[in-house]
Structures are given as structure tokens and as C-alpha cells.
Amino acid sequence: MNYNILYNSKLIRIILPLLTCLTGLIAQTDNLIESISGEMEHFNKVATATKQNEHYQPYIISVFQGNELEKLGISNLKEALLLVPGVDMATDNSNIQTPIFRGSNPLAYGQSKLFIDGISVNNLFLEAYSEYLSFPIEMIKRIEVVRGPGSKIDGFNAYAGSINVITYAEDFKGFESDDKLVFKYGSYDYKMGGFFKTYKTDDLKIFVDFFYQEDDKKLPSGPDGLSQGALSLLPVFDNRALSQTGDAPLWLKEYSLGTNVEYKDFSLKARMLEHTQGSAYGINLALPQESDRVKLPSYYLDLGYAKKIGDYEVNINAGIKYDAFDSYSKLAPDGLNFGVIFQDGIYGEHFAAQQTLYQSSYLKYSAIDKHLITAGYRLIKEETIDMTSKLSNRATGDVELVDYTDTLPFFDKDAKRNTFIFSLQDEYQFRDNISFIYGFNYEQTSYKDSGFEPRVSMVYQRDAENIFKTMYSRSHRNASWQEMFTMNNRARVGSTDLNPEIVDAFEVAYIKKFSADTYLQTNIFYLLNKDQIYNSSVNPEYRNAVDTDIYGFELEYKGNISSVDELYLNYSYVDGKSYTQDEDRSESIPNVAHHLAKGYYLYNLNSDLSLSTVVKYVGAKDRVFGDTREKVKAYSTVDSSLYYKDSKYNYCATLSIKNIFNTNVTYPSPPNTYIQDYAQEGRTFLVTLKKEF
């Protein structure tokens, strides 16, 4: 039976009734409810939309305000995420960095989802969002981080966590955003400039933001992977003597233009992000040239329609996303012997562009007393739209590039995947102090289905100061394009037979509120991870190789010592076991810090001047099975910032020193690659000037 016909017929049978219902509702324009009246309802709406009531949400959430982070000297999204309980960072040989939530599979991307103003921006090629980690904090109004998979919204599944970045496009009456102009300068000749501007009439609002940033960062590194046998075929060809030690090019050039337009019930959200970075530690683990680069562009356009009609609320969205992996680099050093001698080394150009089309319709129904029911679907069509594969001449060893797109492609140029997701959820206010949320996602793809995924949670407010939560959720991560469609690569071999990674999460939380601004949040979690996707230098094919049980707890405190300061502290503990499916063995979870401690203290010297300190501790990390190197060492860093605000002329200046004591910070490398791991920057400085209008 033709799969596409069967697949599409199933979609039609499910979608048509819902579309008919939505069309009828939209036609009832005469029943449109006017804007919310009364100040109390207005502020309740703002609190809900901006997660000011995050302690009552049915998941584990931490919220950071952009203006607070600026006073701490936080420079970008990555630095902000490193303040979150249970979140660490990992990288790879291309310096594609990814946050690690609660120790969940640090060898894979896509464990978490990143949303910019509600738009998912994980790229399709890697399922990562490394290109957005450098997003300047001055462009961010608020960051909401949900730990765990319990944050399914509008058909999205967040496997280990989700990050919602809200820009200053968010604008409520009485909470308007001022226009802003910002400049920054720092170590490694870092330069940044940006602005955002809002234009409003009664029915129309247009928001535009733009920034450009660059640096010339390079860090001492090596010996590279050739020293461990990469690019050798022992004992026939031995290229270990060609290993190099030197500076890894980690430079950055990036600009972004975003716009949000709202006209009555319609919205448009669009962003163009052009991200170019140095080739870091080399695509083939050979230290590259300084000018070698990787481009990770990201574009999206989303059209939305939202309308409240009586007891119904309709949300319809459609959009297109574009991302690409675009690399040009020297892949191997001079004199490499692969049967043919490459006297001037091997050069390569690899390009793969992906397009994602999606459409979703969701309906909320509130006429049933104490219930808010949400139902809807999301359709996604993903495909590779362009691919190029060029290498130095494999037959002669000549350095001039030869087009191997058709004869030796690095990637399946016909890669595509269709996905259908149906969601149903009920928010049930059982009593004034007890609420439940329960529902499910059902997902079907043109490859392996994740199937039925339930979720249930309860929030119990014993009183205004004591809040209890219990949650169970199942979620998944589909294999990325790289894991499925990579080919003709000795380090990575794709497979379309991969099952989705599945997690069952059990969480319990207690929040003690001492005042409106002071709280202690504690939570315990237990995660059952199935079919996690791994590959290695010994077996480069991606496969469902490991099951992992993870457990731990997190403590988070925010408050103050006096009336002129702010104190934030958190501590996380994580442990567990990994069970290798094909070798029937268990081991401690690798590349995961069992202990994480973070915090900051901000002291207001007066109404215009403040001094802050940010401290982070990352515990030691075990190696993967078979890696005989010592554990990755624990480290602590201390940052300090001086912040000044001139209220008369409405400008701010910040001086920050990061990693004051020049601590040696490293992210673990896989075995048989960079034996000294991946070193990160030491002591740096940053100066920021900001003007609001």
C-alpha cells in the first residue's frame, strides 16, 4: 500500500472536522469579545503572559529578566543559561555548543528546544541552536527555562527542557518597552552594536531589532585528533606524525534582523540570522586554518491569526523556516597519505540547506465550568532543498576542488520527513487551591513514530506561601538530519532506522514563598531514557545504543540580605546509570557534572550604581566507557561587574570582568580525538554602553 496515500488519508480524516469547526468559529465575527475591561483583569493577563506567576505553573520553571541580567554583566544567551539550575554546556570539534539539562545525553543535540517569541528555532541539520547562544542579552526582555519534558505546548515536545526567549517585541499597555541603542567592546577584539525600535498606532504595532557582532577569538589547542589516529588507516597508512598543536579559530561574525508585526487579530514574526564562525577544531579533527569557517544561517517567517469568540479562542499559524550547514575548510594537513599523497593537504566545501513548512490550528474552549480544553494539530514538512559536496581530487591528490555532489555526496540530497501531531489537553481547576493539567500528544512521521505521549500534573497551593507540584510526562526526540542522512564520512554514518529517543519523567516540587520577591524552590526528578542515540570513533554509525536512568534534585533560592541587594543561589545534583544495549553493561553517566552550584550577589551602592558578583562551580565529569583518561576536572569561575545608570539622560554603562582568576575551563572531548579536551576562554573583559529613548 502506498504509504503517502495512507498517511495523507489519515490526516484528512482527523483534520477536516477540526478545520470545519475553526472556519465556523471565525465566521462568527459578530460575537467577538471586546478587549479585557477592568484593571484587575488587565494585570492578571499580563502576569499570565509574562510568567510572573511562574510558581503556579505546572512544571519546573526559572525566569530571568533581561534588565537584571544586564546589571550582572551577562553578555548573551549562553551566559544566561549557565545560571539555570541543572544546566551545563558541551561542545564538539566544530564548536557547536549545546546546553545539557540534568545530564541528558551530552553526546547529542536537540535535547532541548529553543523558542524566540514562541517560534521554534532549532536547526534541522543538527537539531541544535548553537547559532543563537551568542544572541546579545540586550535584545532579550525575559528568558523562561523549563527543566524536564513537561512543557509540551502547541504540538512541541521538549525532551529534556525548553527555553523561551522573549524579545522586547512583547509590549503591554502600562508595560511598554523603550527603544534602545547598545554598543559593546571586549576581549578578543569583540565588537557589537544593535538597536530596537517600536512603532504603534491603535490597530498596528511594528517592532524591529537589529544587531551585529564579531570577534577574533582563537584559543591554544592540540595536539589534534591526528595524534590519536584520526585520518589514519592503521597499520596501512599512519598519519599520526602530521598532528598539529596551535590556535583553534573560534572567531565569530554575526548579524540579525528581526521584526514582529501585529495588526488587529493578525501577526507576523520574522528573523534573519547570519552566523559565521571559525572552523574550531576541524571537521575531520585536524586543526584548521585561521580563515576556515562554518556558516549556520537561520531564517523564519510565521503568520498568525488569534481570535476570541465567545467561549472559544482560535489560534492558527503557518510558517516557513530555512537553515543550512555551510563549511569551507582545510580538512587534512599537508602530506597526508591515503594511498594518494596530498602534498598540499585536503580541502573541502560542504553545503546542505533545509526547508521546513508548517501549519497549526488550535482551539481553546472554556464554557465547561472549571475546565479549559485545548485541542489542535500541527503539520510539518521538512526537506533538504540543496546540497553540495566538493573535495580535493581524491585520485590525484591535487588541491583544486572537485565536485563530488553526485558521485560521493556527504549527505542525502533527497532527505525529507513529514510529521503530523495531534494534541489534547484539559486544565481543570478542581478547587480554588488544587488544579490539574492532563492530556497527550500523538505524533506520526514518515519514519519511526513516537506514538501516544501522555502528561499529567497537579499543583496544590496549601496557602499563599506553600506550593506543591507533582508531574509525570512522556516525551521524545526525533533523530536529527545529521544522525539520519550523513554518508561517505568516516566519523559519522547516518541511519534512517533510528527510533526516537523516549523519556518518562517523574517530578515533585515544593516552593516556599517568603514574600513576593523571595522564594525557595526544591524539586526531585527521576528520568527513564530509552533508545538514546550515540556514535563513536570505534563505531561511527548512529544507533539507538544506550538506555539511561537519571535521578537528582535541584534547589533554587532568590531573595535578599538587606533592602539594597539581591541574592540568587542554586545547587543541582544528578546521578544515574547508562545501560549499553548491545554490550549488556552499565556504567555511570558520562560527561556529566554530578554537582553544579551557581549564584550571584548584587549590591546597590546607591540609586544609580551597583556592584555584582557571579559565581559558578561545575563538578568533575566521568569519561565514557573505554576512555582511560582522568576525569574532567572540576572548576569554579568568578565574574564581577560594575553597573551605572544615569536616570537623567537615560543611559547605562557596565564594566565586566569574566573568570577573574583565569581558571582553566574545559569541555570534554570524545576519546581518540583531542586528548587535552576543548579549552574555553580564560579571563576576559567587556564594556557595554546602552541608551534608551
CA distance 111 to 587: 21
235 to 115, 241, 338, 342: CA distances (angstroms): 48, 14, 12, 19
Summarize the confidence of residues 440-450 as an average pLDDT: 91
Query: Is the Cβ–Cβ distance between 602 and 586 less than 8 Å?
Result: no
Winning range, highest mean pLDDT, from 355-359, 430-434, 447-451? 355-359
Domain, as residue range, for 391: 3-692
Between residues 160 and 26, the one the model is more confident about: 160
Place 30 in a pLDDT band, splitting at 50, 70 and 90: very low
Q: Using CA atoms, how far apart are residues 256 and 114, in angstroms rounded to an integer?
A: 16
The pLDDT of residue 174 is 64
| Helix or strand run (H / E) with residue 3 | helix 3-27
* Residue where the block lists cell 514582529: 260
Domain count, the chain: 1
Residue 28 scores a pLDDT above 60? no
pLDDT score for 450: 84
Residue with cell 469568540: 309
Check: CB of residue 644 under 8 Å from CB of residue 652: yes
Over 60: is that where the pLDDT of 50 sits?
no
Instruction: Look up cell 532549532; give the residue.
Output: 122
What's the CA gap between 250 and 292, in Å, rounded?
Answer: 10
At 25 the pLDDT is 38
DSSP annotation string for 527-589: EEEEEEEE--SSS-B-EEEEEEEEEEEEEEEEE-SSTTEEEEEEEEEEEEEEEETTTTEEEEP
DSSP label at residue 240: G
Beta carbons of 569 and 599 less than 8 angstroms apart: yes
List, for residues 253-305, the tens digit of each pLDDT value: 999 999 999 999 999 999 999 999 999 999 999 999 999 999 999 999 999 99
Please state whether beta strands 312-332 and 298-309 pair in parallel, antiparallel, or not at all (unpaired): antiparallel
As a whole number of angstroms, the distance between CA 347 and CA 292 comes to: 10
pLDDT value at 186 more than 50:
yes
DSSP assignment string, 83-139: TSTTEEEE--TT---EEEETT--TTSS-SEEEEETTEE---TTTS--GGGTT-BGGG
Instruction: Answer for the pair 283, 391: CB distance below 8 angstroms, yes or no.
Output: no
Asked if 341 and 397 touch (Cβ cutoff 8 Å), the reply is yes
- Can you tell me whether residue 130 is helix, strand or coil? helix
Q: Find the mean pLDDT for residues 661-685.
A: 95
Nearest-angstrom CA–CA distance, 337 and 346:
10
Placement of cell 468559529 in the chain: 25
Q: Give pLDDT tens digits for 466-524.
A: 999 999 999 999 999 999 999 988 778 999 999 999 999 999 999 999 998 899 999 99
21 Cβ partners below 8 Å, 6+ apart?
Answer: 363
The three-state secondary structure class of 228 is helix
Q: Which of 566, 614, 689 is nearest to 74 (CA)?
A: 614
The half-sphere exposure of 648 on its side-chain side, counting CA atoms within 13 A, is 0
The pLDDT of residue 572 is 98
Which residue, 505, 464, 499, is CA-closest to 483?
A: 499
Mean pLDDT value of segment 61-73: 95
Radius of gyration of the chain (CA): 25
The rounded distance, in Å, linking the Cα atoms of 677 and 680 is 10
Secondary structure of residue 383 in the 3-state scheme = strand
Q: What is the total residue count of the chain?
A: 693
Reference 277, options 119, 456, 134, 440; nearest CA is: 134
**Cα–Cα distance measured from residue 614 to residue 333, given in angstroms and rounded to the nearest whole number:** 42
CB–CB of 624/670 below 8 Å? Answer: yes
Residue identified by cell 472559544 is 312
Question: With pLDDT > 90 as the criterion, what percentage of the chain qualifies?
Answer: 79
Take residue 693 and report the three cell numbers written for it. 529613548
Instruction: Please state, in angstroms and rounded to a whole number, the distance separating the CA atoms of residues 528 and 503.
Output: 5
**pLDDT score at 383:** 97
* Per-residue pLDDT reduced to its tens digit, 397-428: 999 999 999 999 999 999 999 999 999 999 99
- In tens, the pLDDT along 221-258 reads 999 999 999 999 888 899 999 999 999 999 999 999 99
Judging by DSSP bridges, how do beta strands 565-580 and 595-604 pair with one another? antiparallel
Cα-based distances in Å from 425 to 35, 153, 428:
26, 10, 10
**What letter does residue 187 receive in the DSSP assignment?**
T
Three cell numbers at 388? 553540495
Judge contact between 88 and 593, C-beta under 8 A: yes
Average pLDDT, the chain: 90
- Please give the average per-residue pLDDT across 383-407, as a whole number: 95
Q: Give the pLDDT of residue 157.
A: 76
CATH of the domain at 516: 2.40.170.20
pLDDT exceeds cutoff 60 at 86? yes
Phi/psi at 421 (5° precision): -125, 130
Q: So what's the pLDDT on residue 41?
A: 44
Give the per-residue pLDDT at 37.
34
Q: CA of 544: how far to CAs of 444, 482, 547, in Å? A: 19, 14, 9
More confident of the two residues 12 and 353: 353
SS3 67: helix
Sequence-distant (6+) residues with CB within 8 A of 128 are 96, 98, 109, 110, 122, 480
For residue 354, count CB atoms less than 10 angstroms from its CB and return exposed for 0-12, middle for 13-18, buried for 19 or more: buried
pLDDT digits (tens, 9 = 90+) for 552-577: 999 999 999 999 999 999 999 999 99
The region of weakest confidence among 64-73, 310-319, 445-454 is 445-454
- Comparing CA positions, the residue from 98, 90, 83, 103 lying closest to residue 145 is 83
Asked if residues 631 and 677 have their Cβ atoms less than 8 Å apart, the reply is no
Rounded-to-integer distance, Cα 35 and Cα 48, Å? 16
Q: Please check whether residue 654 is in contact with residue 688, taking contact to mean a CB–CB distance below 8 angstroms.
A: yes
Task: Give me the mean pLDDT over the 186-214 stretch.
Answer: 97
